[in-house]
Amino acid sequence: MDINTKIEDKGLIGKLRAALIRVFYTVRRTFIFIGSTLSLSLGSIFFIPHLWIGAILWIALLQNPRYAAFAILGLAIGAGLGKILRISDTSRLGGGLKANALLASIMTAWLTDALGISLVSQLVMASASAAAASMLAAAIMRALTGTSLPSLVWGYCIVAAMLFSICPTCTVLATSTMQIQPIPSNTVEWIMAFSRSLGSFIYSPSYEAGLLVGLAILLWSRTMFITGTIGWISGVCVALAFGKLNIIYYWFPTSYNYFIAGMALGSVFFLPGRASLLLAVVGGCGASFLGLVLQHMWHGSSSAYLPISAAVTIWVVMGAITLAGNRAVVWLNHTPLLCPEEAWWRATYWSERFGLEEPLLAVPLAGELHISQGFNGALSHVGNWCHALDFQRPLPASNNPDPGLQIWAAPVYSPAAGIIERIKNDVPDNQLGVCNYAENWGNYIIIRLDQGGWALLAHLQQGSIVTAIDTHIEAGTYLGKVGNSGRSPIPHLHLQTQNSPEPGAPTIPFRLVNFQSISRIGGSLLHRNAAVPVEGDIVMAGISNQAVHNVLTSIAPGTAVWVVESQGHIPRNFRKSRSRKILRINITFDEKGRHIFSSGTGGSLVSSLAPDAWRVVEARRLNSPFLKLLGLAVPSIPYAATTGMIWDDIAPIMPLGLTSWLSMSILPYRGRKSFTSSYCECAHEPGLGNQAMQIVTILESRQASMPLKITCEFDILRGPIKLKADFKNGMLVYSLLSFEPGLPFESNISQEG
């Protein structure tokens, strides 16, 4: 039923109500738009892309209403210019168009305050400097496109430096309005100096403003505050050291630079961690030294107090560190819009799940395989070539005369998608026990992987390779046959990845995906998402189970109504906020075709249908006990699941609860991982008689607040239909009451009303 029919049904009262609701939503939308523009712009100066926390910064700025008014003017100009230039700076942290314009406008307010010129002139000046700062910011953003360097507040700095150089007396006059800060002599004074320092970035060097700025940063991220403070202390130490050397350094007005540089390098642009604490120190020291240099270079001009020293330090350190790419001592933060703790958690989570951008390869052979040599092998996988696997058949099969069980002439399939870059196909196969030392790799194929890197498959049978150079192949494309060519005394397949196309280039780490380890003792099948098998392992490629694949790929968009039953004591994290027993979960798709299980205010869980498995990939503002349990119950379900198969994975759900929230601030520095592993067993695969797929999960967690066991059922079209969590002293059962198929996208639903 669409909204129009609903209104017709309801009569006059209904129409009135609907109209009021529309007005409410329009007003709300407008407020959110204005509020977000204001608070995100000011927030981005301090690397805080958060609506309500940004508002705290505005309160700080409102200490001087004149500055706030000018800031709004500058913001409007920056936003207008952004519209004209058709650029959005919503995702720019540390300074976009609006932030630069806003700061330039505040700067003009400060500069013109003591001049005694008319308000109109002041406003014109402010507008001009805001426009110039945002134009410069846009130009710098253009220049930096494709680099990892942030645009920062360079636009504002350049405009301010220009204005300061035009009218040095203005700056002297303006500075005279500000309090002179004596060198602190005791702890309280030091704390006050620190606080005033924080506010001086926005020309509000008062305790109150500084406290508010500090509070905002602390609320957004504890690690940012810690690294900023470390930067500040380091910078001040350097300044004091220069003081000891009798070099004049009026450090207080520039000291916010130490904080900004320490914070940006220690936890914003790089992920927090032990090494990044050092970066914070380097940032603070560097900014302090540069501040000193600028003061002396510009002979005490106010330009030396602009955030130039922080910006230069950030660029220099970032440039130096990122040269090493993935091997750098600290990880670049690819999600700066998240708070650093969460960004760190996510990055660690994905590296735990799939490695650090290592190529992911499928098993290139069918049937049971024996890893006769693994990474850092005993024989030849050593030194520069340590990341390689040798595949053979397990022993009983090797003794079996059945040719189907022999590795010799077994078909070789591509382990990943890519382009064939090199082939050798004419090396004769060796007699058993004999190597051909003239041809190290024998017959080989080198594939340039779509995901980056090169894969080498070696020792193939002479003349068996059926593909050609420059052919694009998919994972699973037939390539040739296992042989015994090159340095190979017995038939086997050698697989390695390397960072250049030459055969025998140094290897890089990779992981095998979607394979099963077969335990000869227990007989159970352990499915691995992405791992490196070790020497002696028996592995087998995961072959999609049609029934499981059908159930998982058929999950339809729609609305599911769930019934909740609870017994006994349920830990607070999983307790329902209200005693209501009904839960509505909307399932929609995002633009990447991923499923979003959304519970409205309870947040959402995103799952993707990867080539090998249904996998939970993201939790957004997750608060709903149901979605938390679903994520923990099935972080992933491989299509290869069969009754009795077990696998383990970790859910993308951050540690829950207030204590965890606080402890997250120190986790990056403790070097301990905080993931909850889920050990899943497929108790029933979907089968005869409409039997749903049942998965029983045991959680590896020391926390008493976590469930001991979760059982969930999946059915065709509807996806999850039952979820039962056993806690130490209680039980929570969710059963699907109804599932109404619906429209695929969130926008459809909001249009429908």
Partner 1 sequence: MTRDYLTPTISNELGRQTPEAATDRNYYARGMQTKALFDIDGIPVSRLIEDFGSPLFVFSEHTIREKARRLREAFKSRYPDTRFAWSYKTNYLNAICQILHQEGWMAEVVSDFEYHKARKLGIEGEEIIYNGPGKTRESLELAINEGALIQIDNWDELGLIEELTADALHPANVGVRVWLDAGIRPIWSKFGFSLENGEAGRAAARIVSNPKLRLHTLHTHIGTYILSPDAYRIATQKLVALREQIYVEHDHLIDCLNLGGGFPSHSLLHGMIGPAEQLIAPIETYADAITDVLNTLPEKKKPQLRFETGRYLVDEAGYLLTNVVAVKGNRYPASMSTDLSARDYKEQIILNEDAKASYVLNAGVNLLYTSAWYQINAFPSRSINAAPVPSRLYGSLCMAIDVIRYYIDLPPLKLDDIIALHPVGAYNISQAMQFITYRPAIVLISEEGKTELIRKREELDDIDRPEHIPSHLSKK
By CB under 8 A, name the one of 2, 9, 402, 470 that touches partner 1: 9
If one asks whether residue 753 binds partner 1 (CB under 8 A), the answer comes out as no
Selected from 561, 662, 704, 708, the binder of partner 1 by CB under 8 A is 561
Q: Is 738 in the site for partner 1 (CB under 8 A)?
A: yes
Q: Establish if 17 lies at the interface with partner 1 (CB under 8 A).
A: no
Binding segment (CB under 8 A) for partner 1, from list 165-173, 527-535, 553-561, 592-600: 553-561
Nearest distance from C-beta of residue 204 to partner 1, angstroms? 48
11 binds partner 1 (CB under 8 A): yes
Pick the closest to residue 703 from 684, 677, 683 (CA basis). Answer: 677
- 743 scored as a contact of partner 1 (CB under 8 A): no
Q: Which is nearer to partner 1, 32 or 563 (CB)?
A: 563
With H, G, I as helix, E, B as strand and everything else as coil, classify residue 566: strand
Q: Which stretch binds partner 1 (CB under 8 A): 38-46, 302-310, 492-500, 737-745?
A: 737-745
Pairwise CA distance, residues 645 & 522, whole Å = 12
Sign of CA dihedral 484, 488, 494, 499: negative
Please spell the DSSP secondary structure of 621-681, one letter per residue. Answer: S---HHHHHHHHH-SEEETT--TT-EEEEE-S-PPPSHHHHHHTTTHHHHT-----EEEEE
Single-letter amino acid, residue 127: S
Q: How does strand 582-589 pair with strand 558-568?
A: antiparallel
State in angstroms the smallest separation of the CB of 712 from partner 1: 18
Report the chain's terminal Cα–Cα distance, integer Å.
10
Cβ proximity to partner 1, 576 vs 594, nearer residue: 576
Window of 1-9, 36-44, 600-608, 670-678 that interacts with partner 1 by CB under 8 A? 1-9
Nearer to partner 1, 442 or 686 (CB): 686
AA identity, residue 723? L
CB of 9 to partner 1, least distance (A): 6
Least distance in Å: CB of 628 to partner 1? 20
Q: How far is the CB of 737 from partner 1 (least distance, A)?
A: 5
Nearest to 264 by CA among 290, 282, 291: 282
Q: Is 476 left (phi over 0), alpha (psi -120 to 50) or beta?
A: left
Tell whether residue 688 is a contact of partner 1 (CB under 8 A). Answer: no
Cα–Cα separations (whole angstroms), residue 332 to 231, 264, 327: 19, 11, 11
From 58-66, 402-410, 603-611, 735-743, give the range in contact with partner 1 by CB under 8 A. 735-743
- Nearest approach, Cβ of 741 to partner 1 (angstroms)? 7
- Each as own residue / partner, the long-range contacts of residues 305-308 (CB below 8 Å, 24 or more positions apart, any chain) are 305/253, 305/254, 306/156, 306/157, 306/160, 306/161, 307/152, 307/153, 307/156, 307/157, 307/201, 307/256, 307/257, 307/260, 308/157, 308/161
Helix (H) or strand (E) holding 358: none
- CB of residue 15 to partner 1, shortest distance in Å: 13
Residue closer to partner 1 (CB basis): 7 or 538:
7
Closest CA to 90 of 132, 143, 36: 36
Binding residues for partner 1 restricted to 142-161, rule: CB under 8 A: none
Q: How far is CA 705 from the centre of its chain?
A: 26
Which C-beta is closer to partner 1: that of 1 or that of 245?
Answer: 1
Residue type (1 letter), 681: E
Q: Which C-beta is closer to partner 1: that of 84 or that of 582? A: 582
Binding of partner 1 by 580 (CB under 8 A): yes
* Buried residues in 261-274 as b, exposed as e (16+ CB within 10 A): bbbbbbbbbbbbbe
Total Cβ atoms within 10 A of residue 14 = 13
Residue from 3, 6, 426, 662 touching partner 1 (CB under 8 A): that is 6
Rounded Cα–Cα distance for residues 610 and 497 (Å): 22
> Which of 14, 568, 644, 657 is the binder for partner 1 (CB under 8 A)?
14
Is position 12 an interface residue for partner 1 (rule: CB under 8 A)? no
Query: At closest approach, how far in Å is the CB of 552 from partner 1?
Result: 20
Shortest separation between residue 577's beta carbon and partner 1, angstroms: 13
Q: Which of 685, 740, 750, 748 is nearest to 556 (CA)?
A: 740
* Residue 619: CA count within 13 A, CB half-sphere: 26
- Cβ nearer to partner 1, comparing 370 with 718: 718
Asked if 741 interacts with partner 1 (CB under 8 A), we say yes
Q: What are the E-state strand segments in 291-410?
A: 360-362, 369-373, 388-392
Q: Does 326 help bind partner 1 (rule: CB under 8 A)?
A: no
Window contacting partner 1 (CB under 8 A); options: 5-13, 135-143, 359-367, 372-380: 5-13
Contacting range for partner 1; rule: CB under 8 A; set: 6-14, 204-212, 501-509, 516-524: 6-14
Which CB, 520 or 578, lies closer to partner 1? 578
For partner 1, give the closer residue by CB, 543 or 717: 717
Among 27, 356, 563, 662, binds partner 1 (CB under 8 A): 563
CB 598, min distance to partner 1, A: 16
**How many residues at the interface with partner 1, by CB under 8 A?**
20
Of residues 614 and 739, the one with the C-beta less far from partner 1? 739
Instruction: Indicate whether 626 belongs to the interface with partner 1 (CB under 8 A).
Output: no
Q: Which residue has the tokens 């290139």?
A: 364
- 349-375: b (≥16 Cβ within 10 Å) or e: beeebebeebbbbbbbbeebbbbbbbb
Instruction: Please state the closest distance from residue 6 (CB atom) to partner 1, in A.
Output: 7
Number of Cβ within a 10 Å radius of residue 569: 12
Name which position in 215, 737, 743, 749 contacts partner 1 (CB under 8 A).
737
Can residue 438 be called a binding residue for partner 1 (CB under 8 A)? Answer: no
Q: Is 740 in the site for partner 1 (CB under 8 A)?
A: yes
To partner 1, the closest distance from the beta carbon of 734 in angstroms equals 11
Taking the C-alpha atoms of residue 213 and residue 724, their distance in angstroms, rounded to an integer, is 45
* Segment lying near partner 1 (by CB under 8 A), choices 197-205, 269-277, 496-504, 731-739: 731-739
Q: Work out how close the CB of 581 gets to partner 1 at its nearest, in angstroms, rounded to a whole number.
A: 5
C-alpha neighbours within 13 Å on the C-beta side of residue 99 = 32
Distance, CA of 471 to CA of 106 (rounded, Å):
59
Question: Among 398, 467, 550, 559, which residue interacts with partner 1 (rule: CB under 8 A)?
Answer: 559
Q: Rounding to the nearest 10 degrees, give the CA dihedral for residues 497, 502, 503, 506.
A: -50
Applying CB under 8 A, the span of 82-90, 164-172, 534-542, 559-567 interacting with partner 1 comes to 559-567
Q: Is 739 in the site for partner 1 (CB under 8 A)?
A: yes
**Which of 83, 581, 673, 728: binder of partner 1 (CB under 8 A)?**
581
582 binds partner 1 (CB under 8 A): yes
Query: Is 164 within 8 Å of 301 (Cβ atoms)?
Result: yes
Q: What are phi and psi of 720, to 5 degrees?
A: -65, 135
The one among 422, 487, 584, 709 contacting partner 1 by CB under 8 A: 584
What b/e string do you get for 591-610 counting C-beta neighbours within 10 Å, with b at 16 or more? eeebbbbbbeebbbbbbbbb
Give the residues lining the site for partner 1 (CB under 8 A).
1, 6, 9-11, 14, 558-559, 561, 563, 580-582, 584, 735, 737-741
